[in-house]
Amino acid sequence: MLCIPVGIFSAKVWNLFVPREQGRESAVETDGDSLTWLMQKALKEGRMLSITLESRKWYAGYLVDAPDLRPSEKYFSLLPILSGYRDKDTLEARRTIRYDVVYEKIAEDAGISAEDFVITLPLASVRTANLFDLAVYQDHFAGSGDNALPD
C-alpha cells in the first residue's frame, strides 16, 4: 500500500527537476510513433517539415509545437513557408503560395507578424511527412515554371 503514495510523490519530485520539454522529448523518442518522432526531430533541430494532408494540400514550414503522447493531442501547429497541393495523378507537389515573401512584406507593419500565420492542423489528416530543405527543393524538385523559386 505504501508503493502507490511513494510512486506519486516520486513523480512529483522528479517533475520539479526535469523540464516539461525534456520529459516530452524523452517520451516521444522512446515511445512515439514515426510521425511524432519526425516532428520532434524537426522542432528540436529547427528544420522545416513537409506535410501532405489527406485533402492533398501540401505545406512546408517550421513546427511551432510538436504533439506529445497524450491521447487527447490531436493537432499540431506549423508556420508555413510554402504551400500548395499534390497533383491528383502524379502526386507531384505543386507550389501555389510562398509565405516567406508575404512575411517580408508585412515585416514593416507593426500590427502583423509571421506568428499570425501559424496554422493548426489535425494529426489524423497527415498522409506523408518528411524533413524539408528549401535549397534541395529548389535544386532538384522545383523544376521550372510555377514551382521554381526566385533567388
- The reply to whether 18 and 46 lie within a common domain is no
Contact at 8 Å (CB) between 72 and 64?
no
Is the pTM here over 0.75, yes or no? no
- The reply to whether 16 and 41 lie within a common domain is no
- CATH code of the domain in which 131 resides: 2.30.30.100
The model's pLDDT over 77-116, given as tens digits with 9 standing for 90+, comes to 999 999 999 888 888 888 888 888 777 777 666 567 777 8
- The reply to whether 7 and 61 lie within a common domain is no
89 Cβ contact list (under 8 Å, min separation 6): none
Domain span at 10:
1-31
Q: Name the average pLDDT for the chain.
A: 79
Which pLDDT score, from 0 to 100, does residue 151 have?
A: 45
Phi first, then psi: what are they for 136, rounded to 5°?
-65, -40
- The reply to whether 24 and 43 lie within a common domain is no
- The reply to whether 20 and 94 lie within a common domain is no
- The reply to whether 67 and 89 lie within a common domain is yes
- The reply to whether 73 and 118 lie within a common domain is yes
**Domains identified in the chain, total number:** 2
- The reply to whether 21 and 46 lie within a common domain is no
- The reply to whether 117 and 65 lie within a common domain is yes
- The reply to whether 95 and 46 lie within a common domain is yes
User: Apex CA 127: angle with CA 144 and CA 95, to 5°?
Assistant: 20
Check residues 52 and 135 and name the one with the higher pLDDT: 52
